[in-house]
Amino acid sequence: MNLEVLGIIVLWIFLFGYVIVASIDFGAGFFNAYSLLTNKSHILSNIIQRYLSPVWEVTNVFLVFFFVGIVGFFPQTAFYYGTVLLVPVSIAIILLAVRGSYYAFESYGSRGHKGYAFAYGVSGLLIPSSLSVVLTISEGGFVDIIDDLPQLDFWALFTSPLTWSIVLLSIASVLYISAVFLTWYAWKAQDWEAHELMRKYALIWAGPLIFMAVAIIIQMQQHNPDRFRNMISIWPMFGISATLFLMTVWLIWKKRGLGLSVGLLILQFLFAFFAYGISHYPYLLYPHLTIYEGFTNQEMAISLVIAFIAGLCLLIPSLYLLFRLFLFNKEYVTGNQKDFHA
Amino acid sequence: MNESAVFWSRMLTELTLSFHIIYATIGVGVPLMIMIAQWVGMKNNDEHYILLARRITRGFVITVAVGVVTGTAIGLQLSLLWPNFMRLAGQVIALPLFMETFAFFFEAIFLGIYLYTWDRFDNQTKHMLLLIPVAIGASMSAVFITVVNSFMNTPQGFELVNGELVNIQPLVAMFNPSMPTKVAHVLASAYMTSAFLLASIAAFRLLKGSNHIYYKKSLFLMMKLGLIFSIATAVIGDFSGKFLAEYQPEKLAAAEWHFETEEAASLILLGFMDQEENIKLAIRIPYALSILAHGNPMAEVIGLNEFPEDEIPPLYIHYLFNIMVFIGMFMTLVSILYVAGVWRGWQFIKKVWFRWLTVLGGPLSIIAIETGWWLAEVGRQPWILRGYMRTAQGATTSEHVDMMFILFCILYIVLGIGSIVVLSRMYRANPIEQEIQDRMAEVEGGVR
């Protein structure tokens, strides 16, 4: 394997990590807001607070890691994407900033403002929408190189059905991932009311998720036949993903093996995410930039890989400790423990 | 090149950095203060210091949150606003940027654990040890980011042949000439500012009627720490002067309004410059500039006239430099008087006017941090990568930067006000007297 491919795999893994942990976070915020609207907030707020509080900062780091990493391994992306993404990414930053800081304000400062909870819930859907636009742009057809400078065609982007399909898929995924995870988490916390409610949401959002995923593949045929052929050529991976999806839904339907269902969910998205990534190879921005043209020099690549391995040696034990103390700690999850907050 | 995009890119970067640096400085310095307070509390078995650590931690989380989100903003803005710069520099200096995310990741994990495990472990020391990775992670983040900044000032570790970068050495780029002084100055000044901010809060509470021993202990501890770090900052500042004279003489000369190359150069303090570049009302200290630059009163100091007109930084950085230095000296003096006063039993340090000086120290230290960074950044102009790329060449060509500037302005106003309101509400709702009472009740309840 060459360094280019190694670099993009590492980054893709981190982006995948972000997609999963951020989806849980974004979806939880949305369900929380929705339950306030329907006067069911007492059911969800505890469980959501307990999961989110110690880990929210960690979520953000996955994203930072991805974009710092991609500029490190592929400095040309700073030029291409940096130039065209000013507006959508700035909006995403502002939403992330409001969301992240107000989460801290609310949970560590003063509690219980309704308007805030709605803003928090809505931002959880707007952020994935604005970030998913980056994937749409990478599919090609929206960026022209004029006088050696990349230019984004906003009009084409906003009128393309593909853009909106990807936005809808990102929202459906966020809600589905979050609902499945919280179904399990509530079950583990022995909060049966919350468990039932989340199970219902998980089953509801399974439909739109698979519908949008199929719709996008069909649209690709029109939008970019070249990319469509690539996607079809690795159909077994998408097939595995679909099978895992059906198994997850079945488990949740039958209320069996909920821990397993979260595992299958993650695998489902892993397969779909990597199938998509592989079909995108070798392009970073179709058709202008490939991972080979955009790559940094050998010396930098090697030192980044070494730093990455050293970093992982530090992080994996730390993350294990974090999860052991909170996510997988029965006493903590069920809330039987005293409050040890500072 | 798009002139307006260049202008607004500079404005937006300055805005984000100026806002972020307040929270970043607190983020770097305060974990050390929490650690020292908790350690002092455990060593002396004094519940007050442990409570101090605990109360600072609660507020710290709020500032960290704003630091994180604004840090994410500047991280992305580097590529959004300076795509040409990042494309070039990214090939040489991506390593410390990458390592910074690890340092921050490390800090974030342990801060989460520390925050949610007060009294969860039977052994208090175990809990305190969690702060070590927090403090190391926070300080290392500052180190790595400052390394990137120092590279912009004294780039090395590559060769430019026909517009292509060759012979790239990432470690040589990291350990560039301005790195040691810059990193040390940033760290020491962050610790100093954090200590004076916390001292300022304690002094304010004492002025506002509380006479609790908790605040007196807090004030004395923070003034001692502030004194140590302000002396360290001054010493490192002197090294920075010597570094500049050697590697970035135009920056030093502009900050000092030193035009003619001469031996036994005098230092210009304060003063104003009129339209014809005449210096008025300035204090000239003979030989001082030569001492600052080379440690030798007779040494030759290079003047601005040696440089082409379009390669010298704006002369207003002299004011920024003076503000920073005067605040530093002022705070060293205030803390010396206070610490000596406590030891010698001087009464004036308990007077209202002296308490107000201490209160002033918090905001003043922040101003010193701001002016210091403006000096560092404006003093590097017209370069973004000194000697290789001008700021205007690095900027984006996008049309919408001015609009983004307005949006981010609103964001920072909201975050700034929000964080202040939340912090003051948080401490007002749970004053120290109340918390000590609650703790006592808890402990007694446990005994029964």
Residue partners of B21: CB distance under 8 A and separation at least 6? B369, B370, B373
Residue partners of B44: CB distance under 8 A and separation at least 6? none
Count other C-beta atoms under 10 Å from residue B221's C-beta.
20
In this complex, do B106 and A86 lie within 8 Å of one another by their Cβ atoms?
A: no
In this complex, do A296 and B94 lie within 8 Å of one another by their Cβ atoms?
A: yes
Give the pLDDT confidence score for residue A108 in this predicted structure.
Answer: 63
Pairwise CA distance, residues A194 & B315, whole Å? 64
Label residue B117 by pLDDT band (50, 70, 90).
confident
Among the partner residues A58, A102, A321, nearest to B108 by beta-carbon distance: A58
* Res. B223: pLDDT tops 80: yes
> Which of A38-52, A62-76, B197-211, B295-309 has the weakest average pLDDT?
A38-52
Kindly list the residues from chain B whose CB atom is less than 8 angstroms away from the CB atom of residue A103: 65
- Give me the DSSP letters along B175-207: T-TTHHHHHHHHHHHHHHHHHHHHHHHHHHHHH
> Which of A87-91, A333-337, B257-261, B370-374 has the weakest average pLDDT?
A333-337
**What are B122's two structure tokens?**
């039977």
Q: Provide the 8-state DSSP code for B47.
A: H
Rounded mean pLDDT, B165-177: 88
Comparing CA positions, the residue from A76, A60, A85 lying closest to residue A8 is A76
Residue partners of A340: CB distance under 8 A and separation at least 6? B116, B117, B118, B119, B120
In this complex, do B419 and A101 lie within 8 Å of one another by their Cβ atoms?
A: yes
HSE toward the beta carbon, residue A226, CA cutoff 13 A: 9
In this complex, do A86 and B80 lie within 8 Å of one another by their Cβ atoms?
A: yes
Rounded mean pLDDT, B420-448: 75
* Res. B447: pLDDT tops 50: no
- Give me the DSSP letters along A45-110: HHHHHHHHTTTHHHHHHHHHHHHHHHHHH-HHHHHHHHHH-HHHHHHHHHHHHHHHHHHHIIIII-
Q: Hey, is B159 helix, strand or coil?
A: strand
Give the pLDDT confidence score for residue A175 in this predicted structure.
Answer: 92
Comparing CA positions, the residue from B281, B282, B249, B255 lying closest to residue B268 is B282
What digits encode the pLDDT tens for the residues B85-112?
988 888 888 899 999 988 988 888 888 8
Label residue A52 by pLDDT band (50, 70, 90).
low
Torsion of CA B378, B382, B387, B388, to 10 degrees: 110
- Give me the DSSP letters along B123-156: -HHHHHHTHHHHHHHHHHHHHHHHHHHHHHHS--
What digits encode the pLDDT tens for the residues A175-204?
999 999 888 888 887 888 888 888 888 888
Is the previous residue joined to B96 through a cis bond, with omega within 30 degrees of 0?
no
Label residue A111 by pLDDT band (50, 70, 90).
low
The CA-CA-CA angle for residues B57, B109, B23, to 5°, reads 50
- Taking each helix axis as running N to C, give the angle between helix A3-37 and helix A192-223, from 0 to 180 degrees, rounded to the nearest 10: 130
Residue B147 C-alpha from the chain's centroid: 14
Kindly list the residues from chain B whose CB atom is less than 8 angstroms away from the CB atom of residue A53: 116
Amino acid B326 reads: F
In this complex, do B110 and A318 lie within 8 Å of one another by their Cβ atoms?
A: yes
Q: Say if CB B236 and CB B181 are below 8 A apart.
A: yes
> Which of A46-55, A83-92, A234-243 has the weakest average pLDDT?
A46-55
Kindly list the residues from chain B whose CB atom is less than 8 angstroms away from the CB atom of residue A318: 106, 109-110, 133
HSE toward the beta carbon, residue B284, CA cutoff 13 A: 9
For residue B273, list its beta bridge partners.
B279
CA distance B58 to chain A (A): 6
Give the pLDDT confidence score for residue B231 in this predicted structure.
Answer: 92
- Give me the DSSP letters along A297-325: -HHHHHHHHHHHHHHHHHHHHHHHHHHHH
* Res. B448: pLDDT tops 60: no
Kindly list the residues from chain B whose CB atom is less than 8 angstroms away from the CB atom of residue A90: 80, 404, 407-408
**What are B281's two structure tokens?**
């009302």
Pairwise CA distance, residues A69 & A62, whole Å? 10
Which helix (H) or strand (E) is A146 found in, with range? Answer: strand A143-146
**What are B239's two structure tokens?**
């090294």
The highest-confidence range among B263-272, B337-346, B370-379, by mean pLDDT, is B370-379
* Site from B26, B35, B61, B109 to mutate, A interface, most A CB atoms within 10 angstroms: B109
Q: Is B15 exposed, middle or buried (0-12, 13-18, 19+ CB in 10 A)?
A: middle
Alpha helices in A105-139 (DSSP H): 114-138
Comparing CA positions, the residue from A95, A101, A123, A108 lying closest to residue A32 is A123
CA distance A120 to chain B (A): 15
Pairwise CA distance, residues A7 & A9, whole Å? 5
CA distance B223 to chain A (A): 25
Average pLDDT score over chain A? 83
Give the pLDDT confidence score for residue B139 in this predicted structure.
Answer: 92
Pairwise CA distance, residues A255 & A186, whole Å? 13
> Which of A45-54, A250-259, B78-87 has the weakest average pLDDT?
A45-54
HSE toward the beta carbon, residue A128, CA cutoff 13 A: 30
* More confidently predicted of B361 and B128: B361
CA distance A72 to chain B (A): 5
* Long-range own/partner contacts, residues A233-237 (CB < 8 A, 24 or more apart): A233/A279, A234/A275, A234/A278, A234/A279, A237/A271, A237/A272, A237/A274, A237/A275, A237/A278
Pairwise CA distance, residues B431 & B363, whole Å? 22
Q: Which ipTM did the prediction report?
A: 0.82
Please tell me the total number of residues recorded for chain B in this structure: 448
Pairwise CA distance, residues A256 & A254, whole Å? 5
* Res. A53: pLDDT tops 70: no
In this complex, do B407 and A297 lie within 8 Å of one another by their Cβ atoms?
A: no
Pairwise CA distance, residues B118 & B55, whole Å? 12
The highest-confidence range among A4-13, A108-117, B136-145, by mean pLDDT, is B136-145
CA distance B278 to chain A (A): 43
Q: Provide the 8-state DSSP code for B386.
A: T
- Taking each helix axis as running N to C, give the angle between helix A298-325 and helix A56-73, from 0 to 180 degrees, rounded to the nearest 10: 170
Label residue B372 by pLDDT band (50, 70, 90).
very high
Integer Rg of chain A from CA: 20
What digits encode the pLDDT tens for the residues A136-183?
888 888 888 888 888 888 888 888 888 898 899 899 999 999 999 888
Give the pLDDT confidence score for residue B147 in this predicted structure.
Answer: 94
Q: Say if CB B252 and CB B310 are below 8 A apart.
A: no
In this complex, do B115 and A318 lie within 8 Å of one another by their Cβ atoms?
A: no
In terms of CA atoms, which chain A residue is nearest residue B103?
A311
Kindly list the residues from chain A whose CB atom is less than 8 angstroms away from the CB atom of residue B397: 83, 149
In this complex, do B86 and A89 lie within 8 Å of one another by their Cβ atoms?
A: no
What digits encode the pLDDT tens for the residues B276-311?
777 777 788 888 888 888 888 888 888 888 888 888
Comparing CA positions, the residue from A262, A319, A326 lying closest to residue A58 is A319
Kindly list the residues from chain A whose CB atom is less than 8 angstroms away from the CB atom of residue B70: 97
Strand B279-285 and strand B267-273: the pairing is antiparallel
Label residue B263 by pLDDT band (50, 70, 90).
confident
What is the residue whose two structure tokens read 């469509």? A228
In this complex, do A104 and B411 lie within 8 Å of one another by their Cβ atoms?
A: no
CA distance A223 to chain B (A): 26
Chain A with chain B: Cβ pairs closer than 8 A: 229
* Res. A337: pLDDT tops 60: no
Q: Say if CB B374 and CB A57 are below 8 A apart.
A: no
Q: Say if CB A48 and CB A26 are below 8 A apart.
A: no
In this complex, do B168 and A78 lie within 8 Å of one another by their Cβ atoms?
A: no
Region label for B161, one of left (φ > 0), alpha (ψ between -120 and 50) or beta (otherwise): beta
Q: Say if CB A200 and CB A160 are below 8 A apart.
A: no
Give the pLDDT confidence score for residue B368 in this predicted structure.
Answer: 94
Label residue A336 by pLDDT band (50, 70, 90).
low
Average pLDDT score over chain B? 87
What digits encode the pLDDT tens for the residues B182-204?
999 999 999 999 999 999 999 99
* More confidently predicted of A47 and B372: B372
Rounded mean pLDDT, A318-342: 69
Rounded mean pLDDT, B73-87: 89
What digits encode the pLDDT tens for the residues B130-170?
889 999 999 999 999 999 999 999 998 888 888 788 888 88
Amino acid A80 reads: Y
Label residue A110 by pLDDT band (50, 70, 90).
low
Q: For chain B, how are helix, strand and coil distributed in percent, rounded to 5?
A: 75, 5, 20
Give the pLDDT confidence score for residue A112 in this predicted structure.
Answer: 58
| Residue A272 φ then ψ, to 5° | -65, -40
**What are B280's two structure tokens?**
């008025």
